[in-house]
Structure 1
Amino acid sequence: MSVFARLVEQLAELLQPLFHASAAAAAIVLFTMLVRLLVHPLSRAAARGQKARTALQPRIAELRRKHAKNPERLQKAVLELHAEEKVSPLSGCLPSLLQLPAFFLLYHLFSSSTIGGERNELLTHELLAAPLGDRWSDALAGGGAFGAAGAVYLALFAVVLVVAAYNFRRTRRTLAESGAPVPAGAEGEGAVPGLAAVGKVMPFMSFATLITVAVVPLAAALYVVTSTAWSAVERAVLYR
């Protein structure tokens, strides 16, 4: 069994007296929180970067007025401004990227019947009545949307919807404050190619988590839901 699988099992054993049959699910939640705690310094750096980008908006607005008829010169001027102030328009992506390896490890761990030639015992664990190795489709086939396993997914979907709605409002407000929405024909935030289009889609990205939770194994879904909820609380604190 892999070192990663052993870590999850050891955490589950420690939590067994409190969570009983759902100890492995609790271990995944705890593991997720540990991962997010490790990347928290990067999240703080991303928050500082966002505040720095917001502080540059009056100067960027002046550049837009100055180079309104020359988009190429505007793009170059804004990129030079970011370089001069040592501010990266994409610095906030790093914490999310660093979490991807942990997510894919969980996905592989709970999608494989064997690990290192041994039976994957973790797939026998459950969250209440829902096996950690199953997907929403398995819950629907087993007892329907309102069955014992289906109810677990309904609870996860409810958490995701609440967090997504909060993130939607906060992202739209952040983009508005940063000056991302610009008149048609102008370059987007920081005149970075393609960033204007990203700004239009970004507020809706939180709702894509619903699709992820529905199609990945429940163990990976727990990681996604916990990480998303952590992000919402973390951003509320760092960007207040």
Structure 2
Amino acid sequence: MPSFLEAPVAGAYHLITSLVTAIEPLTGAYAAVVAIVLCTLAVRLLLLPLSLRAHRGLKAGAELMPQLREITQQHQKDPERVRREVAKLQAESGTTLFAGFLPMLAQLPFFWLMYTLFSRAAVAGESNQLISGSLLGAPLGQHWPVLTGTPAFLALAVLLAVVAWFSARLQVRQLDDTATPLTRGLARILPFGTLATAAFVPLAAGLYLLTTTTWTVVERTILQR
């Protein structure tokens, strides 16, 4: 790993291990699990302003859809003209079609840190204490193929699937009547990508995915109301 990436990894390691030490008298063997959940919630809380901005952007984008369709139909033979007109419309409205991706992109560094911290035997020049943590008897540093059939694997898989189902329902509700069958199909399927992702990362990173996707579903439900 490049040396400039070692600093954030070491910083995150010392932060989480300090948190584990602080809460261990209350949480016992699940101190590392609770620490992951708490750190994930803290990250999502820090990103809340970005999420609110993204929600406003998506709402404004939905209101612009009739005009965007009209521009596309009027200039369908001139893609460059479509691009210019769409850019002009977005500039005038102060929104962007990519607003909804901002919270997800902002989380990638934190997900990478979680993956790295629970994939290495040594961090910051010392033995990695975090990988000794466990969930329902399964080591947090283990990957799913090793854990298949264990209570931790089954519990996390079921919970991820339930959260993905709720997320898919929310996404389908956000679509208007002009949405194509392909768009609706993707809205139903894509949230279950968390299950596929969790299959290739340590159990700790899967726990991060579960916590952050649950936050997203709750957040979207509240904002839509």
What TM-score bracket applies, with the shorter chain setting the length? 0.7 to 0.9
Query: Could you tell me whether the CA contact under 8 Å between 1:175 and 1:181 is conserved in 2?
Result: no
Within 5 A, what are the aligned runs for 1:1-240?
A: 2-64=10-72, 67=74, 70=77, 72=79, 73-140=81-148, 145=149, 150-176=150-176, 179-181=178-180, 201-240=186-225
Distance 1:83 1:200, change over 3 A: farther
Deviation at 1:43, TM superposition (A): 0.2
Query: Could you tell me whether the CA contact under 8 Å between 1:171 and 1:202 is conserved in 2?
Result: yes
Q: Distance in 2 between matches of 1:93 and 1:215?
A: 22
User: Which stretch has the larger CA shift, 44-53 or 78-87?
Assistant: 78-87
Amino acid at match of 2:172: R
CA deviation string 1:171-191 (max 9, x = no partner): 1222336x5539xxxxxxxxx
Deviation at 1:59, TM superposition (A): 2.7
Gaps of 5+ in 1: 183-196
Given the two structures, how large is their TM-score scaled by the length of structure 1?
A: 0.81
Q: Distance in 1 between matches of 2:85 and 2:13?
A: 50
Amino acid at match of 1:181: T
Amino acid at match of 2:176: A
Q: Distance in 1 between matches of 2:83 and 2:15?
A: 48
Q: Distance in 2 between matches of 1:19 and 1:33?
A: 17
Q: Distance in 2 between matches of 1:130 and 1:203?
A: 31
Amino acid at match of 1:7: L
Gaps of 5+ in 2: 1-8
Q: Distance in 2 between matches of 1:69 and 1:104?
A: 41
Given the two structures, how large is their TM-score scaled by the length of structure 2?
A: 0.87
Q: Distance in 1 between matches of 2:47 and 2:184?
A: 24
Query: Could you tell me whether the CA contact under 8 Å between 1:82 and 1:88 is conserved in 2?
Result: yes
Amino acid at match of 1:85: S
Which SS does the other structure have where 1:176 is aligned?
A: coil
Which SS does the other structure have where 1:20 is aligned?
A: helix
Count of aligned pairs: 216
Q: Distance in 1 between matches of 2:67 and 2:125?
A: 60
Amino acid at match of 1:114: A
Deviation at 1:34, TM superposition (A): 0.2
Percentage of matched positions with identical amino acids: 40
